[in-house]
Amino acid sequence: MIPLEDNLGDILGKAQRGLGLSDTQLAEKARVNSQTLRKLREGEFDELTVLRIAPVLGLAGRALCDMATGKWQPKQIKDIDGLAQFTTRYHDVTVNSYLAWDPGTKEAVAFDTGADCTAMLKRATKENLSIKLILLTHAHVDHIAALAELKEKTGAPAFIPEREKIPEAEPIDEGKHFSLGKIDIDTRLTWGHSRGGMTYVLTGLERKIAVVGDSIFAGSMGGGSVSYRDAVKNNLEKILTLPDETIICPGHGPMTTVGEEKRHNPFFAGQTE
């Protein structure tokens, strides 16, 4: 199973930066000393410190502890006929891309490209698929690095959120609808990590699927580099309102479900009931 994208330090850092709290402010509000905070960031886990810091950062303390100590991992997603995940390395990070297809018509859609589309193209050949669409969640380079090659090899048009235009793809806005065989794809703007982050919601396969890019990870979320508060709000309102059994396909880390993230993601646990 692909490891979680973020560790305890990553999650604390994202929340702290998002809320604009300095180390001094965080330590004072949480009633911990700065040395304890530093040790926590360096990997020295202390449950009491985590439980004090979590509410200051708007995080669910128990979910944070369970993630940090390895007590929680998302349940592995069983193979779905019509869905494949690909993980490639871009410099020092790994990044996911996906293929979804109608098992009857063999028409397929690629979501992002990762650093290398070789495995994706091999799987398409193996399954006798025809890639008709390339849908991009956002324009960060690790997600679109192989776009030129994928377009050349498939002849498929590419689409990207209007807010993150690139010359190689046609811009789309929230509400755009696509269909491939029995698969319907709706678009939801889940920006915050990037200016135009798009979530693609698929129906027509065994289970509903949400390809979310860097909006949500298993046990974490994107960094909210553009707007942390909007990132959290959009995730809660546009992804975590989907049915619990919906499969979440993130840009990094393992696949998960809406139900898992509602219960166990420190950013959202307890906010969705």
CATH architecture group of domain 83-264: 4-Layer Sandwich (3.60)
**What is the rounded distance in angstroms from the CA atom of residue 138 to the CA atom of residue 26?**
32
For residue 96, what are the β-bridge partners?
87
> What are the C-alpha distances in Å from 67 to residues 70, 147, 201, 235, 267?
5, 34, 27, 19, 12
Q: Domain 8-68's class?
A: mainly alpha
Within the chain, where are the H helices? 8-19, 23-30, 34-41, 47-56, 61-68, 118-126, 141-144, 147-154, 228-234, 258-264
Backbone φ, ψ for residue 51 (5° rounding)? -70, -25
The full set of domain ranges for the chain reads: 8-68, 83-264
pLDDT tens-digit readout, 2-29: 999 999 999 999 999 999 999 999 999 9
- Report CA dihedral (62, 67, 70, 71) to the nearest 10 degrees: 40
pLDDT along the chain (273 residues), means of 10: 93 96 94 90 91 97 96 94 97 97 98 98 98 98 98 98 97 97 98 97 98 98 95 98 98 98 95 68
Tell me what pLDDT residue 7 has: 94
Tell me what pLDDT residue 272 has: 65
> What are the C-alpha distances in Å from 3 to residues 7, 69, 201, 220, 270?
10, 14, 24, 12, 24
pLDDT tens-digit readout, 251-262: 999 999 999 999
